[in-house]
Structure 1
């Protein structure tokens, strides 16, 4: 099992990964330009983050002309699911139903978001029924 399967991204790493999942490959300059307003990070700071993320096998760097290119190595869906499970385990004792209930009870959630969750839950029910024959 490599360390990508147990990725535990920091808040900083999430910011960079979300950008790389959205658009890749990117140069350090492109990452800086995309995140400058949100983070204020300097190029040196971003390079440090990227080097650390390379060591963890979260991103890969490819030498290119005129600048190095960075690619995500982590699968977005797997990483998000892993983080969601970790959060549910820590906060809701692993009970996903409590997580969903908490989200539904939130005043911040929109009707469209509730409908989307409901569709996902219905789809999951059908898939579980098909699996159980």
Structure 2
């Protein structure tokens, strides 16, 4: 499913999608149990969110016994990448390097996070070099 142009998840939708990406299918009761401590949402509230997300084609519902099952329709990697690009465009005028510089300048960044970024950047550099050959 290609929703690149129209997918714009709300904070609420992100919580539900992250849960469904992590483990699916899930019933409404399972989602309520997983999200209750963090959100305090009732089953009725979750059902309302799920109905809206179905209309947007973010998730699908399957009738099952004893309870309906919910599945993600959006691809996690594509959705995260789209949201990241949108964020970088909005905050850093599309300049990915400014995002990385901002993260590196953060006092909260750990050595492991820096190493992870370095590995990703090295991999990207190698891939770009291979494309140019």
Give the Å deviation of 1:8.
0.3
Distance in 1 separating the partners of 2:132 and 2:105: 31
Deviations 1:45-92 (A, max 9, x none): 000000000000000000011000000000111100100000000000
Aligned to 2:88: 88
Deviations 1:75-121 (A, max 9, x none): 11110010000000000000000001101111111110110010000
- TM score, norm. by length of structure 2: 0.97
- TM score, norm. by length of structure 1: 0.97
Aligned to 2:65: 65
Distance in 1 separating the partners of 2:107 and 2:17: 29
Aligned to 2:10: 10
Aligned positions of 1:88-127 closer than 5 A: 88-127=88-127
Q: Write out the 4+ residue segments of structure 1 that deviate beyond 3 Å after TM superposition.
A: none
Distance in 1 separating the partners of 2:62 and 2:108: 42
Unpaired runs of 5+ residues, structure 1, are none
Q: What is the root-mean-square deviation of aligned Cα atoms in Å?
A: 1.1
Secondary structure in structure 2 of the residue aligned to 1:57: coil
2:49 corresponds to 1:49: yes
* Number of matched pairs: 132
